[in-house]
Amino acid sequence: MAEPVTIAVDAMGGDFGPDVVLAGAARALAADPDLHLVVVGPSAVVEPFAAGHDRARAQAASEVIEMGEHPAAAVRAKKDSSIVVGCRLVKEGAADGFFSAGSTGACLAAATLVVGRVKGVKRPALGQVLPAYARPCLLIDVGANADCKPEYLVQFAQMGIVYMEAIMGVENPRVGLLNIGAEDTKGDEFAQKAHGLLAASVPQFSGNCEGGNLMAGDFDVVVCDGFTGNVCLKTIEGTAKTLFKYVKDALMSSLPSKLGALLVKGDLARLKGKLSPEAYGGTPLLGVKGAVIVGHGSSSETAVANGIAVAATTVRANVAGVIADTVARTAKTTGAAQAREGEAAASDAR
């Protein structure tokens, strides 16, 4: 028997409406007998679901934050939105985690403002598990912090390591810094500073990761500022989309290919599914209390079920707690090292 866990679910998130989200929620409940859900949304939507499912209860929320709204402004204005109410449930201990396939920016703002940061974490960050060749790779930050300081990347690395160990079962994750050359001295000013800090304080750091290594399976965690990470993530998704279009065109371009296409289409469709962003059950927002997982806007029923399951695993593995310990330990080590340096300097001066 697994530890009982309660996840709040934003019934109103996602491009396909509450029916798809609730179908995913039902599937998550069926797969995990120790999972409890609080479905958040307008009463007319969430109450019938709660009535029909044993381990679910309804939490009314009259407002919805739309995808186009300014995240922080919407979170402040719409106190009774499903995203804000879901986060408040976590804050108040009525739920252990929160899943939404709604606006990433709004989830980020609500998680930071309402749920709150893990003690010692400077900036929560969004991680995205990429379907790199043969093994997954977590890219972090993919958009929570457009403007970063180099020292944030040390914590992104630490949080990424905890997530990949606890949730993806990766042993001794290899950490890379997204950069424009393999050599240690490469990069812009920001990357050069980040490289020095990572080398000094993250034992799992194994050097620079160029754009070309990202999908090759050479690293388990790759850290970068949220601007570069977001451009990179969307470039990967866009490149994959364009390539599949080109492949489709190629398979229609001659008679032999048209015949061959009939034979290969099953395996190609399976490949597309394997590479889709929903395969890994959403994007963890690391560095906030509890467990907050944001699903892709186009999340299907399966993606929602996976995302809720990841939220439950994140709670059970105590990812937030392990992050707090790691961050505190590093701060202590750095503090002790600084103190020793201070003593040495003082004794030199005598």
Q: In this structure, are strands 125-130 and 35-41 parallel, antiparallel, or unpaired?
A: unpaired
CB of 152 to its own copies, least distance (A): 13
Rounded to whole angstroms, the Cα distance separating 324 from 73 reads 29
Torsion of CA 296, 298, 303, 304, to 10 degrees: 80
Q: Which helix (H) or strand (E) holds 87?
A: helix 82-91
CB of 166 to its own copies, least distance (A): 26
Residue 267 tokens, joined: 């395996």
Alpha helices per DSSP H over 132-254? 152-166, 189-201, 226-251
267 binds its own copies (CB under 8 A): yes
310 binds its own copies (CB under 8 A): no
73 binds its own copies (CB under 8 A): no
Q: Which residues contact 199 (CB under 8 A, 6 or more apart)?
A: 184, 205
CB of 168 to its own copies, least distance (A): 18
Touching its own copies, residues 194-253 (CB under 8 A): 210-216, 224-228, 230-243, 245-247, 249-251, 253
Closest CA to 63 of 89, 38, 90, 45: 45
Q: Of 104 and 155, which CB lies nearer to its own copies in the complex structure?
A: 104
Q: Which residues contact 320 (CB under 8 A, 6 or more apart)?
A: 118, 288, 289, 290, 291, 314
72 binds its own copies (CB under 8 A): no
180 binds its own copies (CB under 8 A): yes
Closest CA to 236 of 213, 265, 261: 213
Instruction: Name all contacts of 268-275 with Cβ < 8 Å and 24+ positions apart.
Output: 272/244, 274/131, 275/131, 275/240
* Binding-site size, its own copies (CB under 8 A): 62
CB of 17 to its own copies, least distance (A): 23
166 binds its own copies (CB under 8 A): no
Which listed range, 79-87, 142-150, 317-325, 337-345, lies at the site for its own copies (CB under 8 A)?
Answer: 142-150
Which listed range, 10-18, 154-162, 172-180, 327-335, lies at the site for its own copies (CB under 8 A)?
Answer: 172-180
Angle at 31 between CA 29 and CA 36, to 5 degrees: 30
CB of 148 to its own copies, least distance (A): 8
128 binds its own copies (CB under 8 A): no
CB of 127 to its own copies, least distance (A): 16
CB of 94 to its own copies, least distance (A): 33
State the residues that interact with its own copies by CB under 8 A: 132-133, 143, 146-147, 178-180, 187-191, 210-216, 224-228, 230-243, 245-247, 249-251, 253-254, 256-257, 259-264, 266-268, 270-271, 274-275
